[in-house]
Structure 1
Amino acid sequence: MSAKDRARIEQAAHELAKVRGLAEAQFRDDTERAFGGQGLAWDAVEPPVRAYYLNRAYDRVRPVSLTPEDLDGGSPGVVETIVALHRRRHDRASRIIRKATGAVLRVAAAAFILLVGWLAVTAPLSQSLQPIAAPSFLVLAADGQPIARRGAVRDAPVDVMKLPPHVGQAFVAIEDRRFFHHVGIDPWGVGRALFRNWRSGRVREGGSTISQQLAKTSFTGGERTMGRKAQEALITLWLEARLSKEQILSRYLSNVYFGNNIYGLRAAARYYFSVRPEQLTLAQAAMLAGLVNAPNRLAPNRNLAGAQRRGRLVLQAMADIGYVGEDRARRTRGAQLRLAPSDNLPTGTYFADWILAKVEQADQQEYGERRIATTLDRRLQRSAIHAFRRAGLGSRQAALVAMRPDGRIVAMLGGRDYARSPYNRATMGRRQSGSTFKLFVYLAALRSGMNPDSPIEDSPITIGRWTPRNASGTYRGKIPLRDAFAMSSNVAAVRLARQVGIGNVIRTARDLGVTAPIPNDPSIALGTSGVSLVEMTAAYAAVAAGRYPVTAQGLDEQQGEDQDFLAALLHRSPPMRSDPAFADMRAMLGSAVAGGTGRAAALPVATFGKTGTTQDSRDALFIGFAGDLVVGVWVGNDDNRPMNNVAGGGLPARIWRSFMMEALRLSEPPRPRKPPEEDEDEWKDDSLGETIGRVLRDLGVTE
């Protein structure tokens, strides 16, 4: 018997004696009063009577180690009874403990089963054995030269069994040297990492195995939560159960990140060394294995010294394990590695963003780099950039679209500086088109049977509460359509739109490819509806081509490796139709440049175009064509603030001409300085400084 049990029994015996003594005394007092001073003997009384007095005494004493059951009517063998009672109590407590323990274990088991079930449902086990996701896109100009790269650079997976042994060994040595000996989770590795991190006072290494890294990077993402860690562990065990160690290592090498948005060993070998993974030398493999620890910081094209130091650590780890000999490791550490030249391609440009928005949604390729052949002409794109730089835009924004008459985009600028503002004003902005919209008004009139010499009244008009006015305040009475269009008479355009019908004007715009909303209102004759520059330029391209509709295209299905993919993406326009009215419309566009508001855009070759200026000079445009190029230029402020005396016949026309002179390789002829009489405010200079600068350039004093 233990000392604790003995002490408990002694205390119980003491309490029982106290209770019994108190009960006997109370019994004696009661019987003496009842029988006149002579009480009854305690032992002679019946057990129920003794039990009554014992219970009363128990309530007064309130013992610690006794229960009412322990009193047992005050029978003999007190100590033995107490010992037996305590034994029964101990057995009962043991049974209670066993039952409670069993219940807890059952609850824990049920909770564990539920947890595993939840993880199995929420963890992406279904993709654990599926291919690695989406490729990158390499955008090519019309000459096949790359101009932009978008997305992670991935390539086809590798098979470690087909690689030189030192390739896989380099990654195992530095990332998970017990890879072939654990079941996916390595307690020894975790303990070693914790100890080394504690000794160094900072995090020097992690405890994740290669299997865990694969589970995290491929299937659960980088989120650091308890739920994600549990899913990671479950997927790790799933991978270990379903795949061999060689298969796990192959998938790891096919998916691991190497910096510079490069994923997978095949892409990394090509990007950094221009070799296939089967051709990697020991030094190259060691450097690539070393990048995994901090890929962005150690990328050799940015930190060659750091990548070399890490590569030497990998070689030492390989020697420590016995993968390579000390002599070979020492010789390899001194090897000089030659990196492949870096292309440093941008991830986006105005044109590339426009193209990739269509491509990325449709692509289903699993691996590699999708090469997107486009229609962009790099020489013409440079000409557009030069034209913007020469223009003196100041704080204003601008956009330019150049296309062939069939709609193939050859140059595009959606703003002055993509790095500062990637918003594409050429394709995404729907600003008022001003008088460039008059193309549809006059073309609708020509379709109705009128001709360039048909008369139209150029005089004030009031429609309800609206009174449109000519910008110059000059009205000429009855004039031919040709002159009204060339001088951009506002009142004549409104009269003409009402005469041919607003619905016919809208129908003409739709025929030429305008998809933006157009209200059924006479004010649309002055270009009050918002239309993108690329759609307006495509409409002018239809007139240049003599057929409609023309749809702006940037993909070239005749070039590149993915012709079927590109052909499927190309927008198929309705069958093109000719229109006899286009010939007269071209003649009127020529008049607008030769002797109208577009004179500043005139080239040494036949030039056709139209100016446009919206109210308070908030937008200024020139759209026209010459040779085999159709070009639209817009100038304005992003916040729609008015510009200071900027009109379509001024700055936009000069940008248009500057681009076309370089694009068409034209030489500069002598130019008359006196402008013709104008009606729309298209000849207003932007500022005195810009006027002086333009005169000096024309005189050859400065560019």
Structure 2
Amino acid sequence: MARAKSSDRRRGPVMRTFVRLAQIGIGLALIGLIALVVMVAVARSELPSYTDLKNIEQGQMIRVRAVDGAIIQEIGPSYGRWLPSAEIPAVMKDAMISIEDRRFRSHLGVDPKGMARSLYFAWQNRDTDRRLQGASTITQQLARTIFLNNSYSVGRKIREAILAMAMESKFSKDQILELYLNKVYFGGGAYGIDAASRKFFDHGATNLDLGEAAIIAGLVKAPSNYSPTADAQAAIGRASVVLRAMQDTGVISPGQAAATEPADVALAPEPPQNSVRYFTDWALPQLDTLIDETIQPIDVWTTVDLSMQRLATAAIQSNVPSGAQGALVSMENDGAVRAMVGGSDYVSSNYNRAVTAVRQPGSSWKLFVYLAALESGYSPDDVVTDEPVQIDGWTPRNSGGSYAGPMSVRNAFAFSKNTVAAQIGNELGFGTVAGMARRFGITTPINTHPAMVLGTSEVRLIDMTRAFAEVSDGGRAIEPYGITKVTTIDDEVLYQRRERTGAPLVDDYVAASMTDLLQTAVNAGTGRAAQIGRPAAGKTGTTTSNKDGTFFGFSSGLTTGVWMGRDDAKAVGGLQGGTAPARAWAAFMKSAVAKRPVQKFDTDVVLPDWQLEDEDDAYFGAPEGGDFVDEYGLPVEGNPPTGDGQLPQQDAPVLDDSWIDRALGRGQRKPDPQPAPRRPEAVRPPQPKADERPSEDGQDELIY
């Protein structure tokens, strides 16, 4: 008896402690509940009206405009027609509820079972980077879509839950589902089921069938991964998961699920992408440096001229050789890009060869050779000698091995005499030529072997076009650009480009003399196919075995560059700078400048009193014996040894900025008032290694 009383006395304090803790817990729970109710009530009072919520749009819309203001591309959110609940197909509602929130009709904004499951999942994966999953109801997702962001934090989840309960207390289930289905993001820029249906199936959402509804419902989890336009198989696989969920919840029968095959759903074809996308793909990344990040809808006013863009596309497509690609860039003297074609067809290949690809320019590189010569004292009428020459074992040659003897600098340039260019480069120093190229905006590596005067260094089309435009602008620096103004849709100016005066790169007389040479090349030289019935200046370029053909030129303040070739750098039969590229240039420029005033150059064209061989004879595909040669004139036995058409690489001195600075530090001399030929002291070019030195009978095949 005494032992029992002692036991009762011991249980008394324990029971009292338990009761006290229970009371504290209940009290805290009540306080928490009251606080939750207060927070939900406050949030409810601050919620916009249902009408206001319908009118809220999220995400930034970007409208890209051409130079005349026409909209050429829309980027960002797309909202279809708002569908009232009564017009939303039942299969769409059932599909969304089944896959995203099975207890949507019964919970109060948050799902306790779902939260418990997610907390268990989080505990099981506490030592990993996996996030809390499965706890967001449709109402929570709607709250996040309208009021919050997708950043992951406990605080955001709490705010999301409070807003969801506030919305549940203010709006009906049908209203919440209507908001959700009209606002949730489905990928591809589409917000709401109507926009998604139009994008993916090419019809509105009022007549969605079961398979289509399953595809759309499956997108919410990961729009980028499951978008039919990004990965059709992933979208189909996810739709099958939705159908099984619908069967599990009883909204469709097993027979309906089995009879519905998502793979049979007809997807809308992607809208055709015309060539202006090459331009916008290049121009829009410039926004990052022009304006601060904004979520406001904006208009981006660009430099592209749609009529010129159409002309450029037609010129490339109608002239590019079969199996080859073509690219074109056209810009004003201030650098405003009016047209850009990065390939023969944007739909089949969006790779932008106008600004990304690096290819050898061939003899169009001689622009820099002769600019350096003119700056160093040569004049267009100076006499040079076209004769056999050997430079450190390298022997360049002309067409058919013929030589014209004494001739003017003007004619040597017009007929793209390799031997003369090689002599000038050797006399001035190949570093001087490279420095001139750097000065005119060439950013890619430049080798300084003797054959560099014939264009063995790879360049970008837009950079070479810029260099010719700088000559057209009197030798002043320009920067290619594509955006002139950025405004909000309320016309608030966020960015306005200011006119800029470029720094002089060479003296005016050098640019004028270079233009003299360039117009002779068009009127009487290798660029005759580029004549357009008004003053024009330009230069052709053809590389080893006809792998690349280029033409660069300007007229009436517009400069255009054209490249043609294969992406794998294999030879293209008959491709020469003076044929297809020059014809494409002429076809484009003739119409592009038709309404512009005719502008004469500073000097009248001086035609030679004799002609060389026809254009076809000015090019050759292989030296005697049918062998190929590399860029240094070294014979290559048989066909080019690699499958991609690339010749063996040799270790060439590559010019870096410090080397260029040293090269440009040498004094330059201007011509006397009565210029006589002045020749700077020859600078010995960098020597190749002993085992790489070209043989004495090596011949160059990179031309003109």
Q: TM-score range by the shorter chain?
A: 0.5 to 0.7
The aligned residue for residue 182 of structure 1 is 108
- Residues 426-477 of structure 1 show CA distances to partners (whole Å, capped at 9, x for unaligned) of 1001101111111111111111122101122211222223221123322112
- Residues 268-292 of structure 1 show CA distances to partners (whole Å, capped at 9, x for unaligned) of 99999xxxxxxxxxxx99899x999
Letter in 2 for 1:594: N
Distance, in Å, in 2 between the alignment partners of 1:496 and 1:565 is 50
Letter in 1 for 2:612: E
With the length of structure 1 as denominator, give the TM-score of the two structures: 0.57
- Residues 262-321 of structure 1 show CA distances to partners (whole Å, capped at 9, x for unaligned) of 23799999999xxxxxxxxxxx99899x999754999xxx9xxxxxxxxxxxxxxxxxxx
Deviation for aligned residue 1:651: 1.1
* Inter-CA distance 574–464: structure 2 relative to 1 (3 Å threshold): same
The aligned residue for residue 524 of structure 1 is 452
1:147 has 2:47 as partner:
no
* Inter-CA distance 676–438: structure 2 relative to 1 (3 Å threshold): same
Which of 635, 643, 664 is 2:593 aligned to?
Answer: 664
1:381 has 2:294 as partner:
no
Letter in 2 for 1:146: I
Distance, in Å, in 2 between the alignment partners of 1:638 and 1:563 is 44
Larger-gyration structure (1/2): 1
Contact map agreement 1:471 1:679 (CA 8 A) in 2 = no
Deviation for aligned residue 1:207: 11
The aligned residue for residue 483 of structure 1 is 411
1:638 has 2:567 as partner:
yes
The aligned residue for residue 316 of structure 1 is none
- Residues 353-391 of structure 1 show CA distances to partners (whole Å, capped at 9, x for unaligned) of 111232357665443533221111111111112212322
* Inter-CA distance 660–653: structure 2 relative to 1 (3 Å threshold): same
Distance, in Å, in 1 between the alignment partners of 2:215 and 2:509 is 67
Which of 504, 510, 513 is 2:441 aligned to?
Answer: 513
Letter in 1 for 2:552: I
The aligned residue for residue 604 of structure 1 is 533
Letter in 2 for 1:409: V
Distance, in Å, in 1 between the alignment partners of 2:494 and 2:620 is 49
Letter in 2 for 1:677: L
The aligned residue for residue 552 of structure 2 is 623
- Residues 492-513 of structure 1 show CA distances to partners (whole Å, capped at 9, x for unaligned) of 1111122223233223222222
Distance, in Å, in 2 between the alignment partners of 1:265 and 1:419 is 27
Which of 233, 240, 244 is 2:161 aligned to?
Answer: 240
The aligned residue for residue 397 of structure 1 is 325
The aligned residue for residue 434 of structure 1 is 362
Letter in 1 for 2:73: A
Distance, in Å, in 1 between the alignment partners of 2:335 and 2:528 is 25
* Inter-CA distance 573–524: structure 2 relative to 1 (3 Å threshold): farther
Q: Map of 1:680-691 to 2, 5 A cutoff?
A: none
Distance, in Å, in 2 between the alignment partners of 1:363 and 1:269 is 34
* Inter-CA distance 591–530: structure 2 relative to 1 (3 Å threshold): same
Distance, in Å, in 2 between the alignment partners of 1:519 and 1:633 is 23
Letter in 2 for 1:141: A
- Residues 123-142 of structure 1 show CA distances to partners (whole Å, capped at 9, x for unaligned) of xxxxxxxx998524322111
SS of the counterpart of 1:620? strand
Percent identity reads 36
Contact map agreement 1:413 1:426 (CA 8 A) in 2 = yes
- Asked which structure has the greater RCO (Cα within 8 Å, sep 6+), the reply is 2
SS of the counterpart of 1:457? strand
- Residues 532-561 of structure 1 show CA distances to partners (whole Å, capped at 9, x for unaligned) of 111111111111121411221111238886
SS of the counterpart of 2:484? coil
Q: Map of 1:76-95 to 2, 5 A cutoff?
A: none
Distance, in Å, in 1 between the alignment partners of 2:414 and 2:217 is 59
Distance, in Å, in 1 between the alignment partners of 2:270 and 2:326 is 29
Distance, in Å, in 2 between the alignment partners of 1:187 and 1:600 is 77
Deviation for aligned residue 1:611: 0.5
SS of the counterpart of 1:661? helix
* Inter-CA distance 565–528: structure 2 relative to 1 (3 Å threshold): farther
Distance, in Å, in 1 between the alignment partners of 2:487 and 2:588 is 26
The structure in which a higher percent of residues are helix is 1
Q: Map of 1:445-524 to 2, 5 A cutoff?
A: 445-524=373-452
Letter in 2 for 1:590: Q
SS of the counterpart of 2:485? coil
Deviation for aligned residue 1:181: 6.0
Contact map agreement 2:440 2:470 (CA 8 A) in 1 = yes
SS of the counterpart of 1:660? helix
Which of 510, 515, 519 is 1:586 aligned to?
Answer: 515
Deviation for aligned residue 1:234: 8.9
Distance, in Å, in 1 between the alignment partners of 2:405 and 2:433 is 23
Distance, in Å, in 1 between the alignment partners of 2:370 and 2:217 is 59
How many residues get paired? Answer: 476
* Inter-CA distance 369–426: structure 2 relative to 1 (3 Å threshold): same
Which of 600, 608, 612 is 1:677 aligned to?
Answer: 612
Distance, in Å, in 1 between the alignment partners of 2:309 and 2:69 is 15
The aligned residue for residue 651 of structure 1 is 580
Contact map agreement 1:456 1:480 (CA 8 A) in 2 = yes
Contact map agreement 1:457 1:495 (CA 8 A) in 2 = no
Contact map agreement 2:140 2:161 (CA 8 A) in 1 = no
- Over the aligned positions, Cα root-mean-square deviation in angstroms equals 5.2
Distance, in Å, in 2 between the alignment partners of 1:462 and 1:504 is 20
Contact map agreement 1:134 1:365 (CA 8 A) in 2 = no
Distance, in Å, in 1 between the alignment partners of 2:542 and 2:87 is 65
Q: Map of 1:31-42 to 2, 5 A cutoff?
A: none
Distance, in Å, in 2 between the alignment partners of 1:678 and 1:296 is 70
Contact map agreement 1:486 1:592 (CA 8 A) in 2 = yes
Deviation for aligned residue 1:665: 3.7
Deviation for aligned residue 1:519: 2.3
Deviation for aligned residue 1:407: 1.3
Deviation for aligned residue 1:256: 1.2
- Residues 186-232 of structure 1 show CA distances to partners (whole Å, capped at 9, x for unaligned) of 669999xxxxxxxxxxxxxx9973234348879897xxxxxx9xx89
Contact map agreement 2:300 2:485 (CA 8 A) in 1 = no
With 492-501 and 511-520 compared, the bigger mean Cα shift is at 511-520
Distance, in Å, in 2 between the alignment partners of 1:406 and 1:296 is 51
Distance, in Å, in 1 between the alignment partners of 2:399 and 2:620 is 15
Q: Map of 1:27-426 to 2, 5 A cutoff?
A: 135-153=60-78, 182-185=108-111, 209-214=137-142, 236-241=157-162, 244-245=166-167, 256-257=184-185, 261-263=189-191, 295=216, 346=273, 349-359=277-287, 364-391=292-319, 393-426=321-354
Contact map agreement 2:478 2:502 (CA 8 A) in 1 = no
Letter in 1 for 2:63: L
- Residues 155-181 of structure 1 show CA distances to partners (whole Å, capped at 9, x for unaligned) of 9xxxx9xx999999x999996896796
Letter in 2 for 1:436: S
The aligned residue for residue 485 of structure 2 is 557
Distance, in Å, in 1 between the alignment partners of 2:494 and 2:199 is 25
Distance, in Å, in 1 between the alignment partners of 2:444 and 2:566 is 21
**Any gaps of 5 or more consecutive residues in structure 2?**
8-55, 118-133, 220-227, 229-268, 597-609, 622-704
SS of the counterpart of 1:539? helix
* Inter-CA distance 237–294: structure 2 relative to 1 (3 Å threshold): farther
Contact map agreement 2:304 2:339 (CA 8 A) in 1 = yes
Contact map agreement 2:198 2:205 (CA 8 A) in 1 = no
Letter in 2 for 1:184: V
SS of the counterpart of 1:417? coil
Letter in 2 for 1:245: M
